[in-house]
Amino acid sequence: MARLRISRAEKDAREDTVAGLQKQLNVLHTANTSPDLPQLRKHNITFDFIMADTHCDIGQGLYQLVEMNPHVNAYIGPACDAVCLPAGLLAAKWDKPMISYSCSSRTLNNHAAYKTFARTTAIYVDMLNFLVDILHHFKWDRVTLVEGSDSLWHETAGYFQEGLEAENINTESIIISSEETHESLQKRFVRSSKDARIFILCAYGLDVYHTMCAAESAGLLDGDHAFIAIDFAHLTNSAQTGRPCRMNKALEGLLDITIRLDEDYAGYQEFVHELNRRTNVIHGAEVGIHMGMVYDAVFLYATGLDEAIEQGFTVHNGSKIIRQLLTRSFQVDVVVDDDDGGGSDSGDDDDDDDEEEE
């Protein structure tokens, strides 16, 4: 039996992605029974998993990684780049596969350093062209980039700023912190709104909520200002603590740009159908985008292991397993979600690109 470590990230709303897997659905069932993995069936290899919570904290994440190392063959996750970056280096030293369903830093593209790392999501900087199209379409020529304190968002906002300026779109940047008070944020947005009406939020879910709450208090949810989030996902209950806003009201008018999964293949459809059936009965929950990416990550690892075994390797040859995956791709489309949970396609099919698995 091969054992996976699946990590969740409590700081970010993506915690529900993996918690739902543990409590509601045996996500490994397909990998354990699929006839499309002949080597795993031939050698009677099945998967089990252990859960770990990184809290999106480097110290906690690395502690969990070291604690679990003797007991696992691969890692599904982490969800946060702050943990992914150092954890990916450790996984490479141990020659253990690490497949993240959420980490988006370009640094992880360095296969020499991250030789056992892969992911089932696109990097956020790939959204630049779509943002430019939106801004040009509405003839917006000035934006404010709201940048979270994590290195991922510094990288993303910097890339966006350079690309937008090249398209003659004037930018300014605001760096925010989860610890910043509501009153301080409100004053900063009042000042910034004098020059810009468009805000692109490069931050995690909790910081996005704090930003929108401050914007509401500053009177910026009046229809004259637009707020665009990057992969906002779902918020945690703790996001409501200590802020003088109602969440639904504060999020009115927020546009969320995220990745659309290729939902055509039967395994994913069965997975989502069963997940919807179980979670809707128990929680009335909506399935987030990262749930599908976890599914992809587990099955991607199983596929790589199956092909590696066919070539004479074993579950302990992590870099060989990942090497089987680097030529695989997932179709990446961009979806814009509005505050009521609806969505719209990003554009024509001719503009769709494939994201090579990193």
**Residue 23: pLDDT over 60:** no
Based on the domain organization, do 10 and 93 belong to the same domain? yes
Domain that holds residue 223: 125-260+337-356
Q: From its phi and psi, is residue 44 left (phi > 0), alpha (psi between -120 and 50) or beta?
A: left
Distance from C-alpha of 271 to C-alpha of 30, rounded to nearest angstrom: 9
Predicted local confidence at residue 260, as pLDDT: 60
Domain count of the fold of the chain = 2
Q: What would you measure as the largest C-alpha separation in the chain, in angstroms?
A: 66
**Residue 97: pLDDT over 90:** yes
**Residue 83: pLDDT over 70:** yes
Predicted local confidence at residue 320, as pLDDT: 94
Residues listed for the chain: 358
| Average pLDDT of the chain, as a whole number | 77
In angstroms and rounded to an integer, the radius of gyration of the C-alpha atoms of the chain is 21
Based on the domain organization, do 129 and 103 belong to the same domain? no
The 10s digit of each residue's pLDDT in 288-333 is 556 667 878 888 899 999 999 999 999 999 999 999 887 665 444 4
Based on the domain organization, do 239 and 169 belong to the same domain? yes
Strand-pair partners of 332:
353
| Residue 217: φ, ψ to 5° | -65, -30
Predicted local confidence at residue 284, as pLDDT: 37
Burial tier of 126 (Cβ tally within 10 Å: 0-12, 13-18, 19+): middle
78-92, 127-141, 143-157, 335-349, range with the lowest pLDDT: 335-349
In SS3 terms, the chain reads as CEEEEEEECCCCCCHHHHHHHHHHCCCCHHHHHCCCCHHHHHCCCCEEEEEEECCCCHHHHHHHHHHHHHHCCEEECCCCHHHHHHHHHHHHHHCCCEEECCCCCHHHHCCCCCCCEEECCCCHHHHHHHHHHHHHHCCCCEEEEEECCCHHHHHHHHHHHHHHHHCCCEEEEEECCCCCCHHHHHHHHHHHCCCCCEEEEECCHHHHHHHHHHHHHCCCCCCCCEEEEECCCCCCHHHHCCCCCCHHHHCCCEEEEEEECCCCCHHHHHHHHHHHHHHHHHCCCCCCHHHHHHHHHHHHHHHHHHHHHHCCCCCCCHHHHHHCCCCCEEEEEEEEECCCCCEEECCCHHHCEEEECC
Distance from C-alpha of 226 to C-alpha of 346, rounded to nearest angstrom: 17
Task: Using the structure block, give the residue that is written with the tokens 């020659």.
Answer: 95
Residues whose CB is less than 8 angstroms from the CB of residue 283 and which lie 6 or more positions away in sequence, other chains included: none
Asked if 356 and 269 touch (Cβ cutoff 8 Å), the reply is: no
Predicted local confidence at residue 355, as pLDDT: 37
First CA to last CA distance, the chain: 26
- pLDDT-derived band at 270 (thresholds 50, 70, 90) equals low
CATH number at residue 148: 3.40.50.2300
Predicted local confidence at residue 127, as pLDDT: 82
| Residue 95: φ, ψ to 5° | 60, 45
CA distances from 218 to 215, 227, 232, 251 (A): 5, 14, 21, 14
**Residue 15: pLDDT over 60:** no
The 10s digit of each residue's pLDDT in 30-62 is 888 889 999 999 999 988 888 888 888 899 999
Mean pLDDT calculated for residue range 232-253 = 64
Based on the domain organization, do 11 and 71 belong to the same domain? yes
Of 79, 87, 6, 101, give the one whose Cα is nearest residue 49: 6
- pLDDT-derived band at 335 (thresholds 50, 70, 90) equals very low
Predicted local confidence at residue 287, as pLDDT: 46
Predicted local confidence at residue 4, as pLDDT: 59
- pLDDT-derived band at 29 (thresholds 50, 70, 90) equals confident
Based on the domain organization, do 351 and 230 belong to the same domain? yes
Q: Which of 45-49, 186-190, 265-269 has the highest mean pLDDT?
A: 186-190
Mean pLDDT calculated for residue range 265-269 = 57
Based on the domain organization, do 20 and 116 belong to the same domain? yes
Based on the domain organization, do 68 and 186 belong to the same domain? no
- pLDDT-derived band at 5 (thresholds 50, 70, 90) equals low
Mean pLDDT calculated for residue range 2-11 = 52
**Residue 272: pLDDT over 70:** no
Mean pLDDT calculated for residue range 336-355 = 42
Predicted local confidence at residue 79, as pLDDT: 82
Based on the domain organization, do 54 and 199 belong to the same domain? no
How do beta strands 98-100 and 117-119 pair?
A: parallel
**Centroid of chain to Cα 125:** 13
The 10s digit of each residue's pLDDT in 196-208 is 889 999 988 888 8
Task: Using the structure block, give the residue that is written with the tokens 């700023």.
Answer: 161
In SS3 terms, 265-277 reads as CHHHHHHHHHHHH
**Residue 187: pLDDT over 60:** yes
Predicted local confidence at residue 94, as pLDDT: 97
Predicted local confidence at residue 1, as pLDDT: 56
Based on the domain organization, do 118 and 131 belong to the same domain? no
Based on the domain organization, do 94 and 174 belong to the same domain? no
Q: Which two tokens stand for residue 231?
A: 């992969």
Based on the domain organization, do 201 and 310 belong to the same domain? no
Based on the domain organization, do 48 and 153 belong to the same domain? no
77-86, 225-234, 324-333, range with the lowest pLDDT: 324-333
The whole-model pTM stands at: 0.68
